[in-house]
Amino acid sequence: MYQEPDELLSNSFYKDVVNSLESAGKVIDINPNVISRLKYPRRAIRVSIPVKMDDHSIQVFRGYRVQHNHTLGPFKGGIRYHPAVSLGEVAALASLMTFKNSLLNLPLGGAKGGVQVNPNSLSKMELEALTRRFATEIGPFIGPDKDIPAPDVGTNPETMAWILDTFSLETGYSQTGVVTGKPVEIGGSRGRQSATGLGVVYIVQQALETQAKNISQATIAIQGFGNVGSHVGIEAHAMGAKIVAVSDVQGGIFNPNGINISELFRYLKQNRFVQGFPQTENITNEQLLELEVDVLCPCALESAIHEKNKQNVKAKIIVEGANGPVTPTASEYLSKNNVLVVPDVLANGGGAAVSYFEWVQDISWLFWTEQEVRQKLSDIMVNTFGRVWNFTRKYQSEKDKNNLRSSAMAIALLRLEKAMKLRGQI
User: Which spans of this chain sit near ligand NAD (rule: CB under 6 A)?
Assistant: 151-154, 196, 223-229, 247-249, 285, 299-301, 321-323, 348, 351
Q: Which candidate, 295, 253, 245, places its Cα nearest to that of 271? A: 253
* Shortest distance in whole angstroms from residue 2 CB to ligand NAD: 28
Give the residue ranges of DSSP H helices in 179-304: 192-209, 227-238, 261-270, 285-289
* Shortest distance in whole angstroms from residue 81 CB to ligand NAD: 8
Q: Residues 76, 112, 182, 310: which is the catalytic one? A: 112
Query: Closer to ligand NAD at the Cβ: 8 or 274?
Result: 274
Query: Closer to ligand NAD at the Cβ: 25 or 187?
Result: 187
Give the residue ranges of DSSP H helices in 319-348: 328-336, 344-347
H/E stretch holding 282 = strand 281-283
Query: Closer to ligand NAD at the Cβ: 223 or 327?
Result: 223
* Shortest distance in whole angstroms from residue 127 CB to ligand NAD: 14
Would you put residue 410 in left (φ > 0), alpha (ψ -120 to 50) or beta?
A: alpha
Residue 348: C-alpha distances to residues 8, 43, 89 (Å): 24, 25, 18
Query: Closer to ligand NAD at the Cβ: 25 or 113?
Result: 113
* Shortest distance in whole angstroms from residue 189 CB to ligand NAD: 12
Residue type, 381: M
Query: Closer to ligand NAD at the Cβ: 56 or 308?
Result: 308
* Known active-site residue 112: yes
Residue 184: C-alpha distances to residues 143, 157, 161, 368 (Å): 19, 9, 10, 11
Q: Which candidate, 302, 344, 350, places its Cα nearest to that of 319? A: 344
User: Would strands 251-254 and 317-319 be described as parallel, antiparallel, or unpaired?
Assistant: unpaired
Catalytic residue positions, numbered:
112
